[in-house]
Structure 1
Amino acid sequence: MTAAVLAAAPPRPAHRDPRILRWLGAYTASTVGDSVYHLALSWTAVSSGSPAQAGLVMAVSAVPRALLMLGGGVVADRFGPRRVVILSDAVRCLVVLALAALVLATTPALWTLAAVALVFGVLDALFLPAVGALPARMAPRDQLARVQGMRGLGQRAGAVLGAPLGGLVVALGGPGAAFAAAGLLFALSLPLLLGLRLNPLPAESGTEGRKNTALGDLADGLRYLRGHRVLGPLVIVIALSDLGFVGPLNVGLALLSDQRGWGASGIGWVLAGFGTGAAASSLLLGVKGRVPRAGAVLGGTMVLGAVSVGALAHTPLLPVAVLLALSVGLLAGLSGALAGALLQTECDPAYLGRVSAVASLCSLGLAPLSFPVTGAAIGLWGPGPVFVASAAVCALAGAYGLLVPALRRAELPK
């Protein structure tokens, strides 16, 4: 009788599952370490060369990340996401600690910093698809939306805590100490990851028993994505929304703040508003666990968020801009979390590394290409028309999602 009761008991929610909490702790530590590393790298590069050379060092990692991301998805599906994440974090830890020792001993050449950035780009191409494939191997399908919300909180923690922590350590001990702190944060994630045990793939999963080459696995994954009624359109929505969104947030905001006379503190307040809204949406999904009519809500919040993006460039008042940024963070954060949750729940776990790689490539590989275009366009026409054009692309993403019946009707599991 006791065994029957235990068998019938519902699975524990994600926020009470020790496996999910270990994974979240490891992910958050790694994310904070990543923020500390990037701040220390940029500071060291600026101190060792010209601003243009520093920008080149910071941009180096984007090349292998974009070129190798799809291959990273194949590696995650072929060798298992847990193994790939552990290996990536272990190598990052060793590389950063070695760089910390070098910086503490001498002033590194710019080519050394560029080489480290290049290695990190390769590791990101492996790490990001594997991280995207992990939740579906740990949590039941009805908990994956909650896990996605918890992951969003981990990302916000990395953005909010990492940069101030890195700046404090640089101020107190210099960039060498900051690199050491980043390495220790990567090291902190390793015992948590080593304790993870993943659920086995279902016997009917798409790649079970196949003997494809790596290129065959990649082609198989792309065919699966293209033929899926929800995932194919969903990736298009993710690509369009990121293409329209990241330019104004990362480049346009600084130019807008300068034109309005808000200064650096104004940028900080607007970014704080965005971050607060994004964290609130992640917390909502993490606590609630499910949003009814997820596909329709995804498209609708993208369209509404686009309105706030367009309005941001047309207000002269900083408090109003902060409120608009708060609404952008809330709406874009919710649509992003829902997109991630639908990707997790709709995808066969055997293909999740490759599908996550395509989504990550759109967000982190292709969308940043809009940065120089956004800057040049604002220089020619000012922030108003450029923000409106970017908002139109975001609105197009939401409208497309609403016009595709399978995506509009997509639901998260109960």
Structure 2
Amino acid sequence: MTATVMAPAATQAHRDPNVLRWLGAYACSMLGDNVYYLALSWAAVQAGTPSQAGAVMAVSAVPRALLMLGGGVIADRLGPRRVVIGSDAARCAAVLAVAALLALTRPGLWPLALLALVFGTVDAVFMPAVGALPARITSPDQLARVQGMRGLAIRFASVVGAPLGGLVVAVGGAATAFGVAGLLIAAFLPLLVAVRVRPLPADDTSDETSDDTSGAEDGEDGAGAAGSRRATAWGDLAAGLRYLRGHRVLGPLMLVIALGDFGFVGPLNVGLTLLADHRGWGASGMGWVLAGFGTGAGAASLLLAVRGRLPYAALVAAGAILAGSVAIGALAYVPTLAGAVGVALAVGLLAGLSGAMCGALLQTQADPAYHGRVTAVSGLVSLGLAPLSMPFAAAAIGAWGLRPVFVVSAAVCGLGGVVTLCFRDLRRAELPA
């Protein structure tokens, strides 16, 4: 497939038709994902025991974590747009096949487990490519705005997707819900095919490539990807890890992201559930707290989408991380539901702002030839390793109570802000004007 090469962006991202096509495609895909996960959990509960359903839901996490780094290599070797289109087509086909199977027979849990396995495997390739794509569709000075627009798309999908999935399951059952999810994922494809991408600059090659790699097989990949085909996949992976380790901004920035994820995931997931139960707020109260967090995160995304660029990006991220860590610790000490919703709103706003700043710095500081691998490492930390903190958080809460665990988690998050301030090159990092 030949991609169309685009000239440098002449308009702001929120007015650029090319970026808006990408945003529409991304929103459709995320909406389909939300409907898919709800349909999968419902079908698994109906077909087996609660423990079996839990196992089915966890199946996709294993290949995603194990194969994520390889997915980053594939995205950089073949080009993110091509990889996103191919992997999304595979996800769509798998979901629609299971929808047809459930509509015709009652096969039990095995097709659901197989679907989860396939989905997780393809996600390991899809997610790094999706993360690498924004830098190839707009100019560097618009990446912060694109991060905000992407955050709004995620919030839209989470708010609309779950109710839509529940409605479709209630009306037509799991088979219909899988069908709707597949169609939403399929709607991603024509929009993305119409998205134009930038070629890699001629000097954006990995350290395994030589100077005679000027010819690429198509305009999407450019010299960097063509040259990287001369190296092995393992060589490309090793080169990407060396690149991250030696980069004066990206190396410490990845540590900041890891600290934030490890400190944040436990309290927001396990800890919040136990806090709502301990305070007597119930499931509805927990829903209100989560709504507060989502509203704050959405406000941060909207701010970036409108403003586009904030000066002193790394310092803004450090300040938001430090203030947000205080808010996370305070959440365990708030006695009333209204107060907890207010604190969660602040947590969402600050975490959304720091996350968007870190994401934009990751995009703008990385050499385009390494975007897939850099995104893969970030995704592995956030989606593969950070969730492992949840059982430890639950065990710690059982042993020492809610407040000490929330305070420790807040301290871990706060270390990310300290790391940002301690590394001079990261502290001085700015987004392109």
Q: TM-score, normalised by structure 2?
A: 0.92
Cα distance 1:260–1:196, how it changes in 2: closer, same or farther (>3 A)? same
Q: Which residue of 2 aligns with 1:158?
A: 157
Q: Which residue of 2 aligns with 1:230?
A: 249
* Superposition map of 1:355-374 within 5 A: 355-374=374-393
* Superposition map of 1:241-320 within 5 A: 241-320=260-339
Which deviates more, 325-334 or 41-50? 41-50
Q: Which amino acid aligns with 2:114?
A: A
Q: Which amino acid aligns with 1:78?
A: R
Q: Distance in 1 between matches of 2:147 and 2:88?
A: 21
Q: Secondary structure at the match of 1:315?
A: coil
Q: Which amino acid aligns with 2:173?
A: G
Q: CA RMSD in A?
A: 1.2
* Superposition map of 1:170-249 within 5 A: 170-207=169-206, 208=224, 209-210=227-228, 211-249=230-268
Q: Which amino acid aligns with 1:402?
A: L
> How far apart are residue 17 of structure 1 and its match?
0.8
Q: Which amino acid aligns with 1:166?
A: G
Q: Distance in 1 between matches of 2:184 and 2:354?
A: 30
Deviations 1:244-303 (A, max 9, x none): 001111111111111111011011100000000000001101110111100011111011
Give yes or no for contact 1:300–1:402 (8 Å, CA) kept in 2: no
* Superposition map of 1:100-179 within 5 A: 100-179=99-178
Give yes or no for contact 1:281–1:334 (8 Å, CA) kept in 2: yes
Q: Which residue of 2 aligns with 1:99?
A: 98
> How far apart are residue 332 of structure 1 and its match?
0.2
Q: Secondary structure at the match of 2:196?
A: coil
Cα distance 1:196–1:10, how it changes in 2: closer, same or farther (>3 A)? closer
Q: Distance in 2 between matches of 1:306 and 1:125?
A: 30
Give yes or no for contact 1:296–1:402 (8 Å, CA) kept in 2: yes
Consecutive unaligned residues in structure 1, runs of 5 or more: 1-6
Q: Which residue of 1 aligns with 2:217?
A: none
Q: Distance in 2 between matches of 1:343 and 1:10?
A: 20
> How far apart are residue 37 of structure 1 and its match?
0.4
- Ranges of 4+ aligned residues in structure 1 off by more than 4 Å: none
Q: TM-score, normalised by structure 1?
A: 0.96
The count of aligned residue pairs is 407
User: Does 2:416 correspond to 1:397?
Assistant: yes
Q: Secondary structure at the match of 1:174?
A: helix
> How far apart are residue 10 of structure 1 and its match?
7.6
Deviations 1:2-45 (A, max 9, x none): xxxxx9x9810001111100100000100011011001101111
Give yes or no for contact 1:100–1:176 (8 Å, CA) kept in 2: yes
Q: Which amino acid aligns with 1:262?
A: W
Q: Distance in 1 between matches of 2:266 and 2:56?
A: 20
Q: Which amino acid aligns with 2:337?
A: L
Q: Secondary structure at the match of 1:229?
A: coil
Q: Which residue of 1 aligns with 2:221?
A: none
Deviations 1:151-192 (A, max 9, x none): 111111121111111111111111111111100100110000
Q: Distance in 2 between matches of 1:252 and 1:87?
A: 38
Q: Which amino acid aligns with 2:127?
A: L
Q: Which residue of 1 aligns with 2:33?
A: 34
Identity of aligned residues (%): 68
Q: Distance in 1 between matches of 2:18 and 2:270?
A: 38
Q: Which residue of 2 aligns with 1:3?
A: none
Deviations 1:72-105 (A, max 9, x none): 0000000010011111111111111111112222
